[in-house]
Amino acid sequence: MIETKILKINHNDAEKLKEAADIIKNGGVVAIPTETVYGLAASVYDENAVKKIFKAKGRPQDNPLIVHIGEPSQLYEIAANVPLNAEKLVQQFMPGPLTIILPKSERIPDIVTAGLKNVAVRMPLHKTAREFIKYCGVPLAAPSANISGSPSPTSAQHVYDDLNGKIPLIIDGGECTVGVESTVISLVGNIPELLRPGAITVEQLEEVLGEISVNPAILEEVNSNERVSSPGLLHKHYSPKTKLIAVKGSTIDFARYVNAKKDKSVCALVFEEDKDLLEVPFITYGKKDDYHSQERALFKSLRQIDCLKKDICYTQLPNDEKEGLAVLNRLLRAAEFSVINANNSFIIVGLTGKTGGGKSTISRILEEKGAAVIDCDKVAREVFSEDNNLLGELSEEFGNSIIKDGVLDRKALASLAFKDKKSIEKLNSITHPHITKSVYSKLSELKDKGVHVVVIDAAALIESKISEKCDIIVVTHAPYEERLKRIRERDGLTEKEALLRISAQKDDDFYISKADYLINNFYPNSIEEQLKPLLKRLGL
């Protein structure tokens, strides 16, 4: 066991850089910062020193290392030849988070390339890294400075957590600004081939090189006896100790899938915007549409998962295979390609609020966008005319005068049932179970039909407990005066009748406290505008 020092070094700290470079010159290894992840470096020409890298990391011998250069001219001592495409890439992206695979020069020992005829070269953007290479006087072979298989380190502390006692020095150059390892592109075949996605995207590379091919192992599990152009594609990678499972599907599918397991030992890895939807412990990794923020946060977050001490962590995936490719690739590998599809979504939106608040406008908008709507007023009318059991129960309570010619006389019932609060409650307690039953059977019909989003428009959504089946509750709100006016016009009621119906409902706070989304009908923002976040969440 050796003592591991962490030393903060700036690109202009000549003394310290010289001191650290002496370790390399004397055949040792040093952990260095780069803009992508921390690396564990040794002189590329010193086989014994390179062996120490493999030993400290526990890295399989068949996985080659990247050679880091401090200036472009060093490329010509590493590679046997430098094709025009390589020069174009150097021009555009070096220094930067890009690694190029080229035919190797004879000077490079086999251990560095794991016996391959090609060598991986990169020039980091991190100033301290480049200065350090210059002080060492030789290019440095350096893989990521983590224990093999664990998440790559993006801070000096991460390196320390993995390699304390195994290496003499960690140069602390701050947190990595990119956060995922470099993009790896091979220029040895006929067509340039992406071997590992990173912050420099396929699209950016294609602007310089024309069309490139993308190695299939980036997003799919490969059989270990298949030949792969980069051995690193085969190895298990980036995994926290907690078992990671990737979940494909919309935000709401994800939340529902994970929340259903809240009594088990589970946690979640999610985008910052979605954390409030979760009922299990979570770690976030960047913002949904900001791929660089995801890259920056990913490895740190993967390390933090273990602190939650759960058996399983479910993770969201970036919803884009272009800019999100690097993160998608790391997460799929960290999850060992265990992916669950939660996408057979059936989302139930409950829409309620005091009568006259504008529910029907909202359900019409949602319907136009593709949701199916169950209108409980309509269901109630159907139930009144078709459900004979209900008719029996009602006449038992309100007398036979509510039946005319064998059918319900709705006017007669209304005049008896809406005469005071108590009668309204009685009416509800008889009708709600029948209406609820009918709503549930409509729900399962819609589900069988493959409908994705259903809106249940119900004034008594909460009182009837239909709300308990809903994934999202939307509450409408309008000023009292306005509501009174609307229901009088709509239902042709006297002021007294209208007042009674309004007062039979719970007060505003009751509804508002249950709302996931509150839509204010008399707001400067139009209802359409207010509905935007909901529509986004529903994928409509």
Q: For 120, how many CA atoms within 13 A lie in the half-sphere containing its CB?
A: 29
- Residue 144 as a binder of Mg ion (CB under 5 A): the answer is yes
Helix (H) or strand (E) holding 473: strand 472-477
Closest distance to Mg ion from the beta carbon of 33 (Å): 15
Nearer to Mg ion, 198 or 353 (CB): 198
Scanning 118-126, 341-349, 378-386, 451-459 for contacts with ligand TXA by CB under 6 A, the matching segment is 118-126
66 binds, among ligand TXA, Mg ion, none (CB under 5 to 8 A by kind): ligand TXA
Judged on CB neighbours under 10 Å (0-12, 13-18, 19+), 360 is middle
Between 224 and 388, name the residue whose CB sits nearer to ligand TXA: 224
Residue selected from 85, 182, 315, 329 as contacting ligand TXA according to rule CB under 6 A: 182
Contact 201, 93 (CB under 8 A): no
User: How many residues bind to ligand TXA according to rule CB under 6 A?
Assistant: 27
Stretch that binds ligand TXA, among 34-42, 296-304, 444-452, 484-492 (CB under 6 A): 34-42
Smallest gap from Cβ 79 to Mg ion, in A, equals: 22
Q: Are 37 and 122 in contact (CB under 8 A)?
A: no
Residue nearest to ligand TXA (CB): 232
User: Which residues from 198-237 bind ligand TXA, rule CB under 6 A?
Assistant: 230-232
How many other β-carbons are positioned within 10 Å of the β-carbon of residue 84? 8
Site for ligand TXA in 490-529 (CB under 6 A): none
The stretch among 63-71, 163-171, 357-365, 440-448 that binds ligand TXA (CB under 6 A) is: 63-71
Tell me the residue number closest to Mg ion, measured at CB: 144
Q: Which stretch binds Mg ion (CB under 5 A): 92-100, 141-149, 495-503, 524-532?
A: 141-149
Under the binding rule (CB under 6 A), the answer on residue 99 touching ligand TXA is: yes
Measured from the CB atom, the residue of 143 and 240 that comes closer to ligand TXA is 143
Over the window 139 to 178, marking each residue x when it contacts ligand TXA by CB under 6 A and - when it does not, the resulting string is ---xxx----------------------------------
Number of helices (H) and strands (E) in the chain: give both, helices first. 20, 23
**102: which strand partners?**
119
Q: Which residues pair with 351 in a beta bridge?
A: 457, 474
37 binds ligand TXA, rule: CB under 6 A? yes
The reply to whether 118 sits near ligand TXA by the rule CB under 6 A is yes
Closest approach, Cβ 12 to ligand TXA, in A, equals: 22
Q: Between 230 and 505, whose beta carbon lies closer to ligand TXA?
A: 230
Q: Where are the alpha helices (DSSP H) in 146-230?
A: 156-163, 202-209
For the bound state, the minimum distance from the C-beta of residue 37 to ligand TXA, rounded and expressed in Å, comes to 5
Token pair for 507: 């007060």
Among 24, 44, 50, 66, binds ligand TXA (CB under 6 A): 66
Contact partners, residue 35, CB within 8 Å, separation at least 6? 96, 97, 124, 125, 126, 129, 176, 177, 178
**Region of 29-37, 254-262, 361-369, 440-448 interacting with ligand TXA (CB under 6 A):** 29-37
The DSSP symbol for 273 reads: G
Report the residue number, 144 or 352, with the smaller CB distance to Mg ion.
144
User: Among candidates 332, 324, 285, which has minimal Cα distance to 304?
Assistant: 285
Helix-helix angle 376-386:388-398, to 10 degrees: 90
The DSSP H or E segment spanning 339 is: strand 339-341
CA torsion angle 214 218 223 228 (round to 10) = 50
CB of 464 to ligand TXA, least distance (A): 58
Name the residue among 272, 68, 300, 8 with its Cα closest to residue 179.
300
Interacting span for Mg ion (CB under 5 A) from 113-121, 137-145, 158-166, 324-332: 137-145
Cβ within 8 Å of residue 415, ≥6 positions away: none
In this complex, which beta carbon is closest to Mg ion, that of residue 113 or of residue 144? 144
CA–CA distances in Å: residue 126 to residues 10, 89, 196, 283, 446: 10, 18, 20, 28, 56
- Quote the CA–CA distance of 128 and 13 in Å, as a whole number: 9
In the complex, what is the shortest distance from the CB of residue 145 to Mg ion, in angstroms, rounded to a whole number? 9
Which of 103/433 has CB closer to ligand TXA? 103
Q: For residue 116, state whether it binds ligand TXA (rule: CB under 6 A).
A: yes
Contact (CB, 8 A) for 528 and 362: no
Interaction site with ligand TXA (CB under 6 A)? 34, 36-37, 39, 63-66, 99, 101, 113, 116, 118-120, 122, 142-144, 181-182, 184, 195-196, 230-232
Interaction site with Mg ion (CB under 5 A)? 144
